[in-house]
A and B are shown apart, each in its own frame.
Chain A
Amino acid sequence: MDTNKNSYTIIYSTVMVVVVAALLAFVSMTLKDRQQRNIDNETQKTILSSVNLVPDIETAADKSAYVQDQYNKYITPLVFNTKGEKVEGEAFKVNLSEQTKLIKAAEALEGEARAKALENVKLPLFQCKMDDGSIVNIIPVYGAGLWGPIWGYIALQSDNETIYGATFAHKGETPGLGAEIATTHFSKQFEGKKIYEDGVFTSVIIAKGGAKPDTVNEVDAISGGTITSRALETAIRSWVSLYSSFLGQNK
């Protein structure tokens, strides 16, 4: 057979593409549930680690089952809007990247229009009932880092202004520099910091050159990771500020 004919080439490539596409679609469908479970499990682990509730993760025989148990035991997911009202929805399924886009778009507007646009933003909140009965609210933060998205969870003590714990993650920040935000020695600094000062929202300042010792809301930035540090500061500020009415209400 002449394999150089045009018709042969076209038929050959068509058949090939259809066969390959069918195979890949089939594999993707079969593995989808498993993959989603892995991703969800990872998110649950990140949420729990912001309140230090996965202490035995390294020694647990079945890590994902352990995370799942801890999550079901402690966390109640809720969704709010910027007015502090509870809205329908599953906190876990809220797409943070899409919400961040909405926030960005709203922040470009002024006055009334801005408040109106922000009302559409869905704010997931993970309420964690600690062993001693106190409620810790966990707020997600999300933003653009230097090379890709960065995100994290900030847990607030029951006074709703002192940080209980925090954890951060990133897609692909520079190893050894920006990527350090995911380490515990960075996130540990956030414990005990205050995001409100005399009732005014101050957020957390990630201070280049080091936190001043007499402040209650400054942490050390990462040397050589200025852009990531700044991006994280912006992400925390813009996300946590949206919870203001909720946090005020629940005081």
Chain B
Amino acid sequence: MNKEIYKNPIFKSNPVTVLVLGICSSLAVTVKLEPACVMALSVIAVTGFSSFIISILRNTIPNRIRIIVQLVVVAMLVILVDQILKAFSYEVSKQLSVFVGLIITNCIVMGRIEAFALGNKPIPSLIDGLANGAGYGLVLVVLAFFRELIGSGTLFGHQIIPLSWYVKNGGFYENNGLFILPPMALILAGLLIWAQRSIQKDLIEK
């Protein structure tokens, strides 16, 4: 099997930093690492299984209602993820709130189904979906790492910056509140894209 299928989406054609898909949710759920990880897993599950199911059905889907069929499959998976989170991980599902439901509108999901799953066999489609979800998840985790560390001084809720450093305890340090707000996520995503483009010169437009 072609290794590019799962290697490309992680870095070389990463859905967030190269294709610039799924930006909205990556700004919203990256304040803390824990919800970012859960969101990453949820998206991986949805992209993987939706590509898989659509690929199995690809020869039976009536062309005129193609998009509707895709939407139904994606929506079904998203509702499943949402229900499972509510039942088994209530705290995190509260933090993610509407953004789990909004995976439906995440361009990566429909994008991969249209571009790949409709024309390929189920197993490669599954891998392609999972890899694209993972590419998205990777960016989420990187963003959340910096935002939580600098914005709240914690990682996964554990204090990383020593408490004695803080101004209120007589130290010199203060959390940077800007990192908690969405604009900083956009700036960080921009920096990531910059970093990637300077490594991968062929992405730079002439």
Contacts and interface: CB of A to CB of B under 8 A. Distances in A.
Interface in A1-51: 3-4, 8-9, 12-13, 16-17, 20, 23-24, 27-28, 31, 34-35, 38-39, 41-42
A8 B80 CA distance: 28
**Taking chain B's interface residues, is the majority helix, strand, or loop, or is none over half, making it mixed?**
helix
Given A3-B60, A35-B83, A176-B180, A24 B76 contact: yes
A34 B65 contact: no
Contacts of B72: 16-17, 20
Contact of A13 (B68, B83, B181): B68
B86 A24 contact: no
B83 A28 contact: yes
A213 interface: no
B64 A4 contact: yes
Contact of B97 (A13, A16, A35, A172): A172
Given A38-B86, A38-B90, A175-B180, A9 B80 contact: no
B86 A176 contact: no
Contact of A4 (B62, B84, B88, B177): B62
Nearest to B79: A24
B62 A176 contact: no
Interface in A35-70: 35, 38-39, 41-42
Q: Is the interface of A mostly helix, strand, loop or mixed?
A: helix
A23 B76 contact: yes
Interface residues of A, number: 23
Nearest to A32: B87
Contact of A27 (B31, B63, B80): B80
A20 B61 CA distance: 15
A31 B62 contact: no
B27 to A, nearest CB: 12
A35 B61 contact: no
A38 B94 CA distance: 11
A31 B83 contact: yes
Contacts of A27: 80, 83
Contacts of A38: 86-87, 90
Interface of B: 31, 59-65, 68-69, 72-73, 76, 79-80, 83-84, 86-88, 90, 94, 97-98, 177, 180-181
Given A23-B76, A31-B84, A35-B86, A176 B65 contact: no
9 contacts: A8-B62, A9-B62, A9-B64, A9-B65, A13-B65, A16-B69, A35-B87, A39-B90, A176-B181
B193 to A, nearest CB: 25
B59 to A, nearest CB: 8
Contacts of B90: 35, 38-39, 41-42
B95 to A, nearest CB: 11
Residue among B31, B73, B86, B98 with the most chain A CB within 10 A? Answer: B86
A9 B63 CA distance: 9
B66 to A, nearest CB: 10
Contacts of B97: 172
A176 B177 contact: yes
Contacts of B88: 34
Contact of A34 (B73, B87, B94, B181): B87
A39 B177 CA distance: 31
Contacts of A175: 31, 180-181
